[in-house]
Structure 1
Amino acid sequence: MPVTLDRSSSVPLSVQLADALREAASAGHLRGGDRLPSTRALAASLGVSRAVTSAAYEQLHAEGWIVGRHGSGTYVTTSPPTPVARRRGAVDVDRKPTPTLLALTPGVPWAEGLDRAAWRRAWRVAADTPPLSVAERAGIVEYRAAIAEHLLRHRGLDAAPESVLATAGTTAAVAELAAAMLRPGDLVGVEEPGYQRAVEAFRRAGARVAPVAVDSEGLRPDAIPDGVRMVFCSPAHQYPLGGRMSAARRVELVERARAQGFLVVEDDYDGELRYDVAPLPLLASLAPDVVVHLGTTSKILTPTLGVGWMVAPPAVTSAVLAYRDDTGTRASPAGQLVFVELARHGDLGRHLRRLRRELSERRSMLVTALQEADIPVLGDDAGAHLVIPLASTREERERLEAGRERGLLLDGLARHFAGTPTTAGIAVGYAGCSRETLRNILGVLVDILHPTRR
């Protein structure tokens, strides 16, 4: 019998025996129809009590791996109904190990900066909340009020709590909007380069995606094709190039939306993170009648919460709620409750102040090192990533490969295009590692991105 028991392990002997026999059967060492020793004989062979072998056989019999035949013995079945189980702690020796790379990619938050005491307290208080008996399709009332207060304090948007919907994040919100507001074949304008998960969400809803050019002032309203039903953009901090939409363009975009009857979806993924001036006003403040505002906790706190928010005109809110009624979708109540507690005790505000100070200093350190090496940098003094422009997509691929060779995972602009890439560059995120780590790899990063690198 292919069985080895570890008496020093904390795993019970009966569980070890069941695991070993289960894996032997799944790996072919024991075949369908093979007769197993009796529990007494196997116990004597392994030097354990019969209670151990009986418990293991009972477990395997319940799972369908073995069957007892009256007067004949116990046999391995031919078609076990459960998936192949892997022994605890087993290692797949056939799989080649993947080198560990330091991820310097956009979209990763400064999760290590969260106050752990405040984090634990928020979860404890959230756990004391009585379980819901009925799902809150719009979101928990306290969460919607907390988001309204957050938007007023940090983004200057005066939104009534009843106009706020809890979401499962930006991508999930885009998917809901597309399903609730669009018909198959509808045309949607999306920034190019831009957020490709939004592009995929629109396409999966059957919409046609029209790339809209961006430059240093953000999305170009004059490049929006006629006939669009919706335009998706990130005006406060264009993703991924990092520019801001000028005031003139904001007015032009809103006027065109009203004249042509399309919705503007405003992705404010890190609007709270601006270091040179106060956070820029939202499009939703300028035109709440034609703008759907989206925000998320994953960039300012952590993806652990799995929640975001939507502020939309009443017709859009009603359509999204009807979609949720039909599909049963909703945002995580647990994440909403934790956010409420972080906001209620001031922990959210304190974290945002620390976050802005930390990321501002990191960005300054990174920009200084790059500029001293004559490496140009794109993007406003905001957010958690910057962009180094390159001459070609070929050079971009070479720099990405050079980064992997030196242990760094970087991000190229090519993957942010829905169509053929027209701009090349490397996007560097600086929030996901410690400041010490970032300081230690500056020399390597500069070497990889230096313009004289062959």
Structure 2
Amino acid sequence: MRSPGSSRTATALPVSLDRESEVPLAVQLADALRESAATGHLRGGDRLPSTRALAGRLGVSRTVTSAAYEQLHAEGWIAGRHGSGTYVTTSPPAERPQGRTVVGGEGPPPSLLDLTPGVPWAEGLDRAAWRRAWRAAADTPPLSAAHRAGLPEYRAAIAEHLLRHRGLAVGTESVLATGGTTAAVVELAGAVLEPGDRVAVEEPGYQRAVQAFRGAGVEVLPLPVDGEGLLPDAVPTGVRAVYCSPAHQYPMGSRMSASRRVELVERARAEDFLLIEDDYDGELRFDVAPLPLLAALAPDVVAHLGTTSKILTPTLGAGWMVAPQPVTSAVLEYRERTGTRPSPAGQRVLVELARNGDLGRHLRRLRRELSERRTLLVDALRAAGVPVLGDDAGAHLVVPCVSAEDERDRLAAGRTRGIQLDALGRHFAGVPSAHGIAIAYAGCSQEALRDALGDLVEILR
């Protein structure tokens, strides 16, 4: 650093204050001076104007400049010297580090119409009900202790939801709050399974669950699916658990038949393995009443998982688990051991949506809306001779392809036309044995879907 005698006085400071901003002027000034020191416009040893002179130059009160200088002094950027003035103490680094950017978590570019599975109809949420729920949730007092199992009122609301919309009768004490389906799988893998255990998972299937199991050191075995869902007789012997989505298989869209459900439950009981039931799209049936949940058929061997992310929005980060008592106890012990728990904020909002009847009204609207969209899409594709796979339910369907290259070509054609589609290939943990394009219809407006129909037909014909 230069000596005071050789210092330069910083007279032309690059400071611009926005009096319309909600950020206090003193904070804006401190930020600007700090940035100037970090970028090299101000260097170690430079003398700053006095607080009075700088206040006059910027047209602000001396209180503003004094507060900014005090903050920078506390951070070590500047120092005062008796009888001499205020000096910059920190020189910029020789080479500024590049900004760090988190990649891969933003989804498709905004310019693309996103028709990939898993995106909910968030724009269909009643905004007045949404605001009302958040306000009511904010009126509840802050928690002073963690609720490892979840808020009691949330667990009660989920028990009521499961009875009304999934036909599953459970007590509040049987429900655990979770952070969503993937979070629940992580907890089950850590609490119930051990490294080296074997778990059978649908193939194609939910790859986040696959990675959650593998992350816990669990061996994942692929299970084939067809038009009736998972094949129970293909479950290998010696597995500790089977992960499946019987209501609307992800991503093929089939529904597990009643006979296969019974066969799978009988094998689980006879061979002592846990059935992990991912109730993907379980609330979204348009044609007939849903088949009984595995958890209703065999509560003694089934861990039932659900989430608000697909029926409402990922904003809440809330889900649920209903499982046999030894399993829920193990999960609670895992949470205590790791110091983790699902966030109560989203739980409180869900409670308010349920309390006012807004959750039920939204689900009824959602089913009507998605039924109309599915009919619109299926009619257009079939009229053009395009085959469609999947049950009349849920928020996506599948168009078969002849090869992996065919998948890639159609994905590329979609991007060229401004549409983001999904290929079955990425849903296989091993070598893909089926090829196709998955098309979701919940994440956009119905108008946008109508506008895209012509392009979709051309891409998939």
- Per the normalisation by structure 2, the TM-score is 0.89
Aligned residues: 438
Structure 2, unaligned stretches of length 5 or more?
1-11, 99-107
Indicate the residue corresponding to 1:414 in structure 2: 425
2:41 to 29, 33, 36: 29
Counterpart amino acid of residue 382 in structure 2: Q
Structure 2 Cα separation of the partners of residues 79 and 311 of structure 1: 58
Give the drift of 1:108.
Answer: 1.0
Indicate the residue corresponding to 1:203 in structure 2: 214
Counterpart amino acid of residue 80 in structure 2: G
Contact 2:258 2:291 in 1 (8 A): no
Structure 2 Cα separation of the partners of residues 181 and 349 of structure 1: 33
Structure 1 Cα separation of the partners of residues 112 and 293 of structure 2: 37
Indicate the residue corresponding to 2:72 in structure 1: 60
1:261 partnered with 2:279: no
Structure 1, unaligned stretches of length 5 or more?
87-96
Q: Give CA-to-partner distance per residue, 1:31-83, whole Å, 9 cap, x none.
A: 344443443454555565544433332222223322333344333333789xx
Indicate the residue corresponding to 1:3 in structure 2: 14
Indicate the residue corresponding to 1:390 in structure 2: 401
Give the drift of 1:15.
Answer: 3.6
Q: 1:52 to 1:132 in 2, by over 3 A?
A: closer
Where 1:441 maps in the other structure, the secondary structure is helix
Q: 1:76 to 1:157 in 2, by over 3 A?
A: same
Higher mean alpha-carbon deviation, 39-48 vs 219-228, is at 39-48
Indicate the residue corresponding to 1:152 in structure 2: 163
Indicate the residue corresponding to 1:19 in structure 2: 31
Q: Give CA-to-partner distance per residue, 1:326-385, whole Å, 9 cap, x none.
A: 122222222222222222222222111111111000000011111111111111110111
Counterpart amino acid of residue 183 in structure 2: A
Indicate the residue corresponding to 1:127 in structure 2: 138
Structure 2 Cα separation of the partners of residues 79 and 308 of structure 1: 50
Contact 2:200 2:241 in 1 (8 A): yes
Shift >6 Å, 4+ stretches: none
Where 1:304 maps in the other structure, the secondary structure is helix
Contact 1:297 1:308 in 2 (8 A): yes
Give the drift of 1:132.
Answer: 2.1
Contact 1:242 1:378 in 2 (8 A): yes
Contact 2:150 2:342 in 1 (8 A): yes
Counterpart amino acid of residue 425 in structure 1: G
Listed as ranges, the matches of 1:174-253 within 5 Å are 174-253=185-264
Contact 1:292 1:310 in 2 (8 A): yes
1:78 partnered with 2:90: yes
Structure 2 Cα separation of the partners of residues 224 and 79 of structure 1: 65
Higher mean alpha-carbon deviation, 17-26 vs 211-220, is at 17-26
Contact 2:37 2:90 in 1 (8 A): no
Aligned CA RMSD, in angstroms, stands at: 2.4
Contact 1:65 1:80 in 2 (8 A): no
Indicate the residue corresponding to 2:123 in structure 1: 112
Indicate the residue corresponding to 2:348 in structure 1: 337
Structure 2 Cα separation of the partners of residues 7 and 291 of structure 1: 59
Structure 2 Cα separation of the partners of residues 382 and 374 of structure 1: 21
Q: 1:46 to 1:344 in 2, by over 3 A?
A: closer
Counterpart amino acid of residue 75 in structure 1: Y
1:401 partnered with 2:415: no
Higher mean alpha-carbon deviation, 175-184 vs 54-63, is at 54-63
1:301 partnered with 2:312: yes
Q: 1:428 to 1:32 in 2, by over 3 A?
A: farther
Give the drift of 1:404.
Answer: 1.6
Indicate the residue corresponding to 1:317 in structure 2: 328
Q: 1:150 to 1:419 in 2, by over 3 A?
A: same
Higher mean alpha-carbon deviation, 203-212 vs 69-78, is at 69-78
Q: 1:20 to 1:344 in 2, by over 3 A?
A: closer
Where 2:242 maps in the other structure, the secondary structure is strand
Structure 1 Cα separation of the partners of residues 208 and 126 of structure 2: 30
Counterpart amino acid of residue 457 in structure 2: V
Counterpart amino acid of residue 356 in structure 2: H
Counterpart amino acid of residue 70 in structure 2: E
Indicate the residue corresponding to 2:154 in structure 1: 143
Contact 1:275 1:382 in 2 (8 A): yes
Structure 2 Cα separation of the partners of residues 7 and 259 of structure 1: 71
Give the drift of 1:394.
Answer: 1.3
Listed as ranges, the matches of 1:82-93 within 5 Å are none
Listed as ranges, the matches of 1:43-58 within 5 Å are 43=55, 46=58, 50-58=62-70
Higher mean alpha-carbon deviation, 37-46 vs 206-215, is at 37-46
Structure 2 Cα separation of the partners of residues 360 and 98 of structure 1: 27
Q: 1:99 to 1:166 in 2, by over 3 A?
A: closer
Where 1:295 maps in the other structure, the secondary structure is strand
- Per the normalisation by structure 1, the TM-score is 0.90
Structure 2 Cα separation of the partners of residues 384 and 184 of structure 1: 35
Q: 1:12 to 1:272 in 2, by over 3 A?
A: closer
